[in-house]
């Protein structure tokens, strides 16, 4: 049937985790020199499938063919030998090492290093790809988009011609996405094959040649991108029609629940991140913080939540000065929920089970414990209820949080922070890595909270999302709010000027 | 376009299809993996047998002397129990902070300071109190001494970010020599040939629980402490908090836990365990404070903690076993002439094999595939 030869083919792949079928009879053919998108709900089994191709997991059944030849891939090294490389959903690098060192790290068959030579070859390769990277910079000093480019560089340096990219755009800011797509196009024209996992349907429509849709571990569709549209893809993914616009009532605004005045704070490196920021959120409204990533969003959220000390200024929550309270006290006494941006590093204890993570911030309080004595039965029932209400796809609440799919990890945090009806809710990039159905669900839930009277500070780099849920937008630039406007008056042009500091 | 059919809701579970024999085989394999430490110990004993042979001895005779000496009779068992107590407490001193992700390499020092404080209270607290209260004060002083000594590296870690591995280790030397200096300068019994203190009053000697042996109640307290620590980690908010810090300090801050305070308390609690070990050596066994009284219990505690895979309950078993080896070594030397250093070699090999065992983990999926593959040829019959 296929005119173009297949670069990699999967036939009847099955993968179970202790009785649970993460991949169930999956067959996919990826054509040589194409961009092949894999779509699917959170927990559909996309990452599992990719890990199988990359040799991290062994399938229970099924065959893998690389260029028509059946292969057994027992580890990433063998995958590399077949020209297969992967950038993970949550990739890891050695922060203290330089770009060159990270690229060279783990190269097989190299008992003696010649870093000077590698460095030169890396510069050449980077130039060829149009990357503006200093090979001597330490990894930690690079923005995440750059770090991702280093990951791709690493694969190409190992001569990979099949690149598996697991949700690469979820770590990128909107302004980084365009150049990233240009890069993918260039890689495709140079004959490389790309398997792209994403939750963003318009990205699929823009970039992909062919699309595979997965659901509940199975393939439900294999389609040419030119023969479909976003709406159909969404329906295939979720199994029902997804309505993209949320209906909303006018806000019923109450008294202030968050008053931030002249806040000053620094980031990890001691550089100033907030420069006298002032902001108010009232009960019953959603205030969106718009801005280019890295303008103080993270520090703002953390300072309000009590994770970061302000060097000047005050934070008042529900009329009370919160400066001396720790994060748990702010949650409990001032009724503030906080969804942090980095779910794996801050939001979860990945080595504990789902049940514990559901009470991570409240296990020391009744009813989950009394006089220092933990009531695990209560914790478990509580977790079961929440998991059901927030549709967490899992094997059971005793499962380790680490083994959950990325989107389901995010749902645990959302469930935990929203369930006890907070007065104030700070959410940072809450839809990162969520599928369309889940995004829809999160936005509805947030709107329901607002209608109940919660004041919500919604921080996101996705303008579209902000325009959809927020009542009022505040634009952050260089650690300060440079403009506030109701959503009805917000146009992309006007926001663009504010976000780049070109208008007051 | 080709839309493949909708997935059926009820995916067939593989376990239902698996034949019964296969499942039994798999649970046996899983069980074998759980006994990993036991295999490591056996492997070390087998290799040890070769060493005995090399040294010109008879392995069977050597081992029977060793194990009879340690476990076969009343006196052997009581000596093993006495030896177990400091090993167990020292292992708890390692385990508690390690659950919070902190390495306490300095249990040895905490043992010495505990012993010192306990001795001071025994010798210098006026004997006006009822003796049982005085004994409790001596034990408490030991725990306090260990806790305070443990707090130093913890505080340096919490407030200055200093590496606790190095500070706790170096503070051990400081403690050992502090005890030596105090003995020389002040506490040493006049005319003694070797630096040791006066004997503690008879009324303060710990009672024994096996008659005509040295098995003092410190042994029981040590076992009780291990049980309490196990319950703390399993059932209390303190245990969960310590564990959360160990898993992910960022998430711990987000959870509202006071990471600095937990650093201090886990080290203090661990140090208190080591301090108890020091107190019991004085009150239960030696009745005096000796210079260099510990044969390295602190370091052996690390071995025990490692053998027990950081489980407080496992530590009871591991400490009992290691104590038995050490006690049996003497009996082996007496009856077969094989040097006690043989047991040290054995200990080293056990650690080595347990470490090797860490590389083998049970992967359910992998084994279910293998078992299925084994069964195929027989199914045709
Ligand atoms: N190591 C594991 N042990 C147990 N279950 C696992 C493991 N890895 C994945 N799973 C389960 O398999 C299912 C598929 O997970 P996977 O990570 O492949 O999903 P995904 O499609 O990548 O989702 P997402 O879009 O949220 O990243 C999930 O339900 C997950 O809980
Ligand atoms: Mg995934």
- What string of H, E and C letters represents the secondary structure of B80-147? HHHHHHHHHHHHHHHHHHHHCCCCCCCHHHHHHHHHHHHHHHHHHCCCCCCHHHHHHHHHHHHHHHHH
pLDDT at A503: 67
Q: What residues of chain B have any CB closer than 8 angstroms to a CB in chain A? A: 1-7, 11, 13-15, 235-238, 240-241, 243-244, 247-248, 250-258, 364-366, 368-369
| Alpha-carbon radius of gyration of chain A | 24
β-strand pairing of A424-428 with A455-459? parallel
More confident residue, A437 or A67: A67
Question: Which pLDDT score is estimated for B381?
Answer: 38
pLDDT for the residue numbered A243: 66
Substitution target from A349, A357, A359 for chain B, most B beta carbons within 10 A: A349
Are B243 and A352 a contacting pair at CB < 8 A?
yes
Please report the pLDDT score of residue A504 as a whole number. Answer: 55
What would the mean pLDDT of A345-349 be, rounded to a whole number? 93
Q: What is the mean pLDDT of residues A57-68?
A: 92
Please, which pLDDT band fits residue A127 given cuts at 50, 70 and 90?
confident
Give pLDDT tens digits for A241-295. 766 666 778 888 899 999 999 999 998 778 888 999 999 999 999 999 998 888 8
- Continuous segment of H or E residues that includes residue A472: strand A472-477
Which residue's alpha carbon is at the smallest distance from atom 8 of ligand 1? Answer: A403
CA distance A120 to chain B (A): 37
**Residue numbers in A near B7 (CB within 8 A):** 24, 215-218, 220
Selection from B117, B83, B171, B130 nearest residue B279 by Cα: B117
pLDDT value at residue B1:
38
The yes-or-no verdict on residue A97 having pLDDT over 90 is: no
Phi-psi map region of A453: left, alpha, beta (phi>0 left; psi -120 to 50 alpha):
left
> What percent of chain B lies above the pLDDT cut of 90?
68
CB neighbours of A310 closer than 8 A, spacing ≥ 6?
A: A263, A264, A265, A274, A303, A323
- Residue A331: the pLDDT is 85
> What are the DSSP calls for B232-266, one per residue?
HHHHBHHHHHHHHHHH-HHHHHHTT--HHHHHHHH
Question: Which of A221, A327, A374 faces B253 most closely, judged by CB atoms?
Answer: A327
Instruction: Check A219 against B244: CB less than 8 A apart.
Output: no
Nearest to A165 by CA among A179, A146, A182, A180: A180
The pLDDT score that the predictor gives to residue A244 is 61
Distance between CA atoms of B11 and A477, rounded to whole angstroms?
51
Mark yes or no for CB contact B235/A373 under 8 Å: yes
| Residue B9 half-sphere exposure toward CB, CA atoms < 13 A | 1
Question: Rounded to whole angstroms, how far apart are CA atoms A275 and B309?
Answer: 49
pLDDT, one tens digit per residue, over B241-296 is 999 999 999 999 999 999 999 999 999 999 999 999 999 999 999 999 999 999 99
Q: Which residues of chain A neighbour B18 with C-beta distances below 8 Å?
A: none
Kindly state the percentage of chain A with pLDDT values over 70: 98
- pLDDT-derived band of residue A115, with 50, 70 and 90 as boundaries? confident
Nearest CA to ligand 1 atom 22: A47
Measured distance CA(B348)–CA(B325) in Å, rounded: 12
Could you say which ligand is closest to the alpha carbon of residue A48?
A: 1
- Rounded to whole angstroms, the Cα distance separating B335 from A358 reads 61
Write the pLDDT tens digit of every residue in B356-381.
888 888 877 677 777 877 776 654 43
Q: Which residues of A touch B368 (CB under 8 A)?
A: 60
Least confident of A13-22, A65-74, A193-202, B172-181: A13-22
User: Which pLDDT score, from 0 to 100, does residue B378 have?
Assistant: 53
Band of the pLDDT at B9, cuts 50, 70, 90?
Answer: very low
Return the percentage of chain B with pLDDT > 70, whole number: 93
Question: Sign of dihedral through CA atoms A204, A205, A211, A216?
Answer: positive
- pLDDT > 90 in chain A, percent: 46
Q: Which residues contact A110 (CB under 8 A, 6 or more apart)?
A: A104
What's the mean pLDDT when you consider all of chain B?
A: 89
Quick: pLDDT tens for A377-391.
Answer: 999 999 999 999 988
**Residue B7 scores a pLDDT above 60:** no
Domain annotation for chain A: domains and CATH numbers: 6-238 (3.40.50.300), 256-346+403-499 (3.40.50.300)
Which pLDDT score is estimated for B143?
A: 98
Confidence band, pLDDT 50/70/90 cuts, at residue B192: confident
- Minimum-distance ligand 1 atom for the alpha carbon of A407: 26
What pLDDT is recorded for position A351?
Answer: 94
| Cα gap B378→B381, rounded to integer Å | 6
| pLDDT tens-digit map of B15-66 | 444 567 778 888 888 888 888 888 999 999 999 999 999 888 889 999 999 9
In this prediction, residue A267 carries a pLDDT of 85
A219 touching B (Cβ < 8 Å): yes
Q: How confident is the model at residue A489 (pLDDT cuts 50, 70, 90)?
A: confident
pLDDT of B340 over the 60 cut: yes
Q: Is 70 exceeded by the pLDDT of residue B13?
A: no
Point out the least confidently predicted range of A176-185, B213-222, B291-300: A176-185
- A107 vs A49, more confident: A49
B193-212 confidence digits (pLDDT tens):
889 999 999 999 999 999 88
pLDDT for A192-249, tens place per residue? 999 999 988 888 998 999 999 999 999 999 999 999 988 888 888 888 776 666 677 8
What ipTM does the predicted assembly reach? 0.84
**Does A89 or A254 have the greater pLDDT score?**
A254
pLDDT at B8: 38
For residue range B63-99, what is the model confidence (pLDDT) as tens digits?
999 999 999 989 999 999 999 999 999 999 999 999 9
Look at residue A9 and tell me whether its pLDDT is greater than 80: yes
Give me the residue spans of the domains in chain B. Answer: 86-309
Ligand 1: which atom is nearest the Cα of residue A49? 18
Q: How far apart are CA A80 and CA A158, in angstroms?
A: 7
The pLDDT assigned to B145 comes to 98
């Amino acid at each position: 049937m296929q005119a173009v030869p297949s670069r990699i083919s999967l036939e009847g792949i099955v993968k179970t985790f202790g009785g649970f079928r993460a991949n169930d009879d999956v067959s996919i053919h990826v054509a040589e020199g194409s961009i092949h998108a894999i779509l699917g709900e959170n927990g559909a089994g996309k990452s599992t499938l990719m890990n199988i191709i990359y040799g991290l997991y062994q399938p229970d059944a099924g065959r893998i063919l690389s260029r028509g030849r059946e292969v057994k891939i027992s580890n990433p090294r063998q995958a590399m030998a077949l020209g297969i490389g992967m950038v993970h959903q949550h990739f890891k690098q050695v922060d203290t090492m330089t770009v060159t060192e990270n690229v060279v790290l783990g190269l097989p068959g190299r008992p003696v290093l010649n870093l000077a030579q590698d460095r030169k070859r890396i510069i050449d390769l980077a130039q060829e790809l149009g990357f503006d990277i200093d090979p001597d910079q330490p990894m930690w000093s690079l923005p995440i988009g750059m770090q991702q480019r280093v990951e791709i560089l690493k694969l190409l340096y190992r001569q990979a011609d099949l690149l598996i990219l697991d949700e690469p755009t979820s770590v990128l800011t909107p302004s980084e996405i365009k150049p990233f797509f240009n890069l993918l196009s260039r890689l495709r024209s140079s004959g490389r094959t790309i398997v792209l996992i994403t939750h963003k349907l318009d990205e699929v429509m823009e970039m992909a040649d062919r699309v595979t849709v997965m659901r509940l571990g199975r393939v439900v569709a294999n389609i040419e991108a030119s023969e479909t549209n976003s709406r159909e893809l969404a329906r295939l993914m979720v199994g029902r029609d997804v309505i993209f616009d949320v209906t909303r009532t006018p806000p019923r605004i109450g008294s202030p629940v968050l008053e931030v005045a002249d806040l000053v704070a620094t980031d990890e490196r001691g550089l100033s991140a907030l420069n006298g920021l002032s902001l108010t959120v009232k009960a019953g409204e959603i205030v969106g913080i718009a801005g280019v990533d890295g303008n103080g969003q993270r520090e703002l959220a953390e300072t309000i939540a009590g994770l970061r000390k302000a060097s000047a200024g005050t934070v008042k929550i529900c009329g009370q000065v919160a400066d001396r309270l720790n994060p748990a006290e702010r949650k409990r006494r001032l009724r503030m929920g906080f969804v942090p941006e980095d779910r794996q590093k801050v939001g979860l204890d990945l080595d504990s089970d789902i049940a514990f993570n559901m009470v991570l911030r409240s296990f020391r309080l009744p009813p989950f414990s009394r006089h220092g004595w933990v009531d695990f039965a209560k914790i478990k029932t509580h977790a079961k209820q929440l998991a059901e209400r927030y549709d967490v796809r899992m094997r059971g609440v005793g499962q380790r949080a680490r083994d959950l799919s990325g989107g389901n990890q995010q749902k645990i945090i959302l469930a935990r922070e929203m369930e006890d009806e907070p007065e104030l809710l700070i959410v940072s990039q809450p839809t990162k890595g969520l599928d369309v159905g889940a995004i829809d669900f999160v936005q509805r839930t947030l709107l329901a909270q607002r209608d109940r009277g919660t004041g919500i500070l919604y921080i996101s780099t996705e303008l579209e999302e902000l325009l959809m849920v927020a009542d009022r937008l505040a634009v952050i630039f260089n650690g300060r709010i440079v403009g506030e406007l109701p959503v009805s008056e917000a146009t992309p042009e006007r926001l663009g000027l504010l976000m780049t500091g070109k208008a007051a | 376009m080709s839309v493949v059919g909708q997935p059926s809701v009820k995916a067939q579970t593989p376990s239902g299809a698996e034949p019964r024999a296969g499942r039994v085989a798999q649970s046996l394999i899983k069980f074998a993996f759980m006994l990993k430490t036991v295999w490591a110990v056996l492997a070390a004993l087998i290799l040890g047998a070769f060493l005995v042979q090399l040294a010109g001895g008879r392995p069977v005779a050597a081992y029977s002397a060793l194990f009879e000496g340690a476990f076969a009779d009343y006196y052997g068992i009581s000596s093993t129990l006495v030896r177990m107590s400091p090993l167990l407490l020292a292992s708890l001193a390692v385990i508690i902070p390690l659950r919070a992700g902190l390495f306490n390499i300095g249990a040895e020092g905490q043992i010495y300071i505990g012993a010192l404080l306990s001795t001071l209270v025994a010798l210098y607290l006026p004997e006006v109190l009822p003796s049982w209260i005085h004994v409790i004060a001596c034990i408490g002083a030991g725990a306090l001494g260990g806790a305070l000594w443990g707090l130093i590296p913890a505080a340096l870690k919490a407030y200055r970010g200093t590496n606790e591995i190095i500070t706790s280790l170096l503070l051990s030397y400081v403690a050992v020599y502090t005890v030596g200096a105090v003995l020389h300068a002040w506490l040493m019994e006049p005319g003694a040939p070797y630096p040791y203190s006066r004997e503690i009053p008879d009324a303060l000697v710990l009672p024994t629980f096996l008659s005509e042996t040295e098995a003092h109640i410190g042994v029981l307290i040590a076992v009780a402490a291990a049980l309490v620590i196990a319950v703390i980690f399993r059932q209390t908010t303190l245990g969960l908090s310590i564990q959360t810090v160990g898993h992910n300090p960022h998430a711990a801050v987000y959870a509202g836990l006071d990471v600095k305070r937990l650093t201090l308390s886990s080290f203090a609690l661990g140090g208190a365990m080591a301090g108890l070990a020091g107190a019991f050596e004085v009150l239960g066994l030696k009745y005096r404070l000796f210079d260099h009284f510990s044969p390295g219990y602190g370091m052996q505690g690390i071995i025990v903690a490692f053998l027990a895979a950081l489980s407080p309950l496992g530590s009871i078993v591991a400490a009992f076993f290691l104590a038995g080896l050490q006690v049996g070594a003497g009996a082996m030397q007496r009856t077969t002439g094989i040097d006690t250093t043989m047991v040290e070699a054995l200990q080293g090999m056990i650690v080595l094999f347990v470490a090797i065992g860490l590389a083998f983990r049970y992967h359910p999926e992998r084994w279910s595939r293998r078992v299925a593959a084994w069964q195929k040829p027989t199914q045709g019959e």
